Chain A
Amino acid sequence: MERRVKLSQSPILSFKGITKRFPGVVALRGVDFDLYEGEVHVLVGANGAGKSTLVKILAGVYQPDEGEIFFNDKRAIIRNAEQARRMGISIVYQNFNLINKMDVGQNIFLNREPTVGKIVRRVDWSRIYRETSAILKRLHVHIDPKSLVGDLPVADHQMIEIAKALAMQSRILVLDEPTSSLSEQEIEDLFHRISSLREEGVAVLYISHRLEEIKRIGDRVTVLRDGEYVGSESIEKISLEKVIKMMLGREVEKIYPWKPRPVGEVVLSVEGLGSRGAFENVSFSLRKGEILGISGLVGARRTELALAIFGALPTHSGRLIYKGKAARFNNPGDAIAAGIGLLPEDKARYGMFPILSVAHNITSAGLSLLVRRFGLNPRLERNITEEYVRKLNVRTPSVKTEIQSLSGGNQQKIMLAKSLFTNSEVLIFDEPTKGIDVGAKEEIYNLMLELAGEGRGIIMISSEIPEVLGMSDRILVMKEGRITAEFDRENATQEKILEAAL
């Protein structure tokens, strides 16, 4: 791909010495940053480095404590989201901002609905749905503009959020981890759109933890670490290893630290399980100490399978055999009590208690473990949760901090801690490393190996094929609600998996 960065001109946007503090945290410390028209500028940094904070300052959501913003060489104060939009800034947030009770079209045109009529101005619904269809089609997404957002899976939410930003005529487009839930094809389409916007002279700020994307889409990269500016470099001049070193201050030795381990007897087997409208006749088994990867395209019904095993989705056929006995989990409570833990895919909706503390979030699925003679024991709760925070290297002022004030990746780590807290013998991780930085990924993989080493069975659902290949002992591939292939670690390749998934 041809790169045409016109660095000779002056930047459309520049941050000078931006500092932002939150109670107990300095999120940004004197950060300088320039964005030019017609470039895709990638911003990287570990979880909690301050990337989303920078975006929110640009969006007018937060005001910087120190420093100045220049827009077209003029000092600008961005007071609120409305003003940012008038300046031509459109943003895809890391945590989606969609309204579940509205349909896709209403969401995309929220607060800027086109109207018809001179005297009585009415919302032009037919235009909204027509244009929504057109935008979605351009992104090759097949979503009915009239379906309720709350009924759609997360992957679609991400696409709608992107469509919403693209629907506006913008001069600056900001994407904060837009691809974390997307399939390869959708990413391809998105990158296509981004490239053509770049040709039109739009300035793009792109944030991602999928570092291979830097090379695919970026022109320049800027690295933040602990709220500080580390450096900027043009893409051709920098290696990924160097970027990682700048992000973490250390090298990542092996991305996938998989080692051969002894595997025990079967702990869970699924026999001919089916759930109406989702999947049919699914059978497989999981052994103690085994990491079983489940691959497939977004929408292959892997999440539904996980929910059904966990008792959160009704099944109409088949059965589970757990520890040698037929088992029936009528609700998640039963599954948890039996020793099954789930890290759900949609962590914001099905995992997080946003206004509650980190500690309360971690313990929410296993409260009875905290009960002592006088009821819940706060000291015990604090000690255990602090242990998790240390182990997973979570960046938070304390375990009493509300989880919503943590960075996206750190919230994900707390969700992982929550699934571990119940001390389950079978763990189902649905997209465990989504939104997590390279350094922390390595730590999470090590933790998975440790858990498997203790004899726990792990089901890892992941859309990242390299991750499945890198960490699984055995791999299942799902397609449209059926298992289409099974591979041993030695026989699996990216091509074979894709072939079975498509």
Chain B
Amino acid sequence: MKLPVRIDWSKFGLPAAFFVMLIIFTVINPAFFSARNMIQTTRQGAILFLIVSGQTFALLARGIDLSQGSVMSLVSIATISSIYVLGAYAGSIAGILFGAMCGFINGMLIAFLGIPPILATLGMLFVVSGVELVYTGGVTLTNLSDIDQGRLFWFGGGMIGPVPVPVIFAIIIGFLLYYILKYTLFGRQIYLIGTNADASSLAGLPIKRVIVLVYTVSALLASLGAFFLTARLSMGFPQLGEAWLVLAIGGAVLGGTSVFGGKGGVWEALLGCLVIVFLDNGLIVSGVSTFAREAIIGVVIIVACLGSVIKRRV
């Protein structure tokens, strides 16, 4: 039986709010819309997008990844340390893989030992930041050779034409993730498992394998974000990831990914992180203080979470 499907206007609410926000900030300070500021902001946005996408995988599987921030710090340190030994390219890959491995361990703890995601990843958060502090003593790692520094910096601070390098990477990765979630078995299985684990098990889905992969992907994407940040700074910074965890979860939820699993995706991740990055930047350009900015973004995220809880009730 075919009946006309009504358009769901709620889907357009956030994009509309986003454009209104862009206009308001431009009116307050035209410098907001300058090429320089846009390039700077999209660079931040690209990095946040990677991290939010990673968190999205965990949320879709009805989990959460609290270790993203500390894994990012670890990747920063590990990347620079490895570059000392292996050179810029191999060192970077080693650093990123190091981060992904933390995610793999998260996944094993959750899937095979049955530890709830919130606890497993919280544990990982502490272990990783502990290891990292012992290793660095809290000191920033610098002193790359000129060649390595030049090669590394290109990934974070370079441009291809008018577009920052991380943005190019983020776009490619974004399409890849979209494809994975929508057109691969793995992607579909994440949604099924996140929606009803009991039914997934009776449908014969490889739940454990999917969970391990999900947390590996989450950490891998956070690590990529950390890599681009580290590249731009060209140093290993033990506090690199601290502020990002909240933004990662907040961005995902703000964009419309549900904390109850099974709902959301790359588009939602993109939307959420664009709103956060441009809001933050707009507030800076409008002269709002750092603390006030954090408070405002915090409020926006809480309102978004409320929205998602209310939507679920109805």
Contact = CB atoms under 8 A, between A and B. Distances in A.
- On whether the two chains bind one another, the answer is yes
Interface of A: 23-25, 310, 312, 331-337, 342, 344, 349-356, 360, 364-365, 367-368, 371, 374-376, 378, 394-398, 400-401, 418
Interface stretch (B22-30, B120-128, B193-201, B287-295): B193-201
B4 A350 contact: no
B192 A353 contact: yes
B202 A332 contact: yes
Interface in B120-159: none
Contacts of B205: 333, 364
Contacts of B192: 353, 356, 360, 364
B199 A349 contact: yes
A332 B201 contact: yes
Contacts of A351: 199, 202
Contacts of A397: 2-5
B57 interface: no
A371 B188 CA distance: 12
A432 to B, nearest CB: 16
Interface string B170-209: 0000000001001111011101100110111111111000
B262 interface: yes
B203 A396 contact: no
A333 B191 contact: no
A312 B1 contact: no
Contact of B195 (A23, A312, A349, A356): A356
B191 A376 contact: no
Interface in B246-261: none
B15 to A, nearest CB: 20
Contacts of B195: 353-356
A376 B6 CA distance: 27
Contacts of B232: none
Contacts of A355: 195, 262-263
Interface of B: 1-6, 8, 179, 182-185, 187-189, 191-192, 195-196, 198-206, 262-263
Nearest to A400: B5
Contacts of A418: 203
Given A24-B3, A332-B202, A333-B206, A356 B191 contact: yes
23 contacts: A24-B6, A331-B201, A332-B203, A333-B204, A333-B206, A336-B203, A342-B202, A349-B196, A350-B199, A352-B196, A353-B191, A353-B192, A353-B199, A364-B192, A364-B205, A365-B204, A371-B185, A375-B183, A375-B184, A376-B182, A376-B185, A400-B5, A418-B203
Nearest to A350: B202
Contacts of A365: 202-204
A375 B202 CA distance: 23
Given A333-B205, A353-B199, A355-B262, A23 B1 contact: no
Contacts of A375: 179, 183-185
B264 to A, nearest CB: 11
Given A364-B192, A376-B188, 8 more contacts: A23-B5, A312-B202, A334-B204, A336-B203, A344-B202, A350-B199, A353-B199, A394-B1
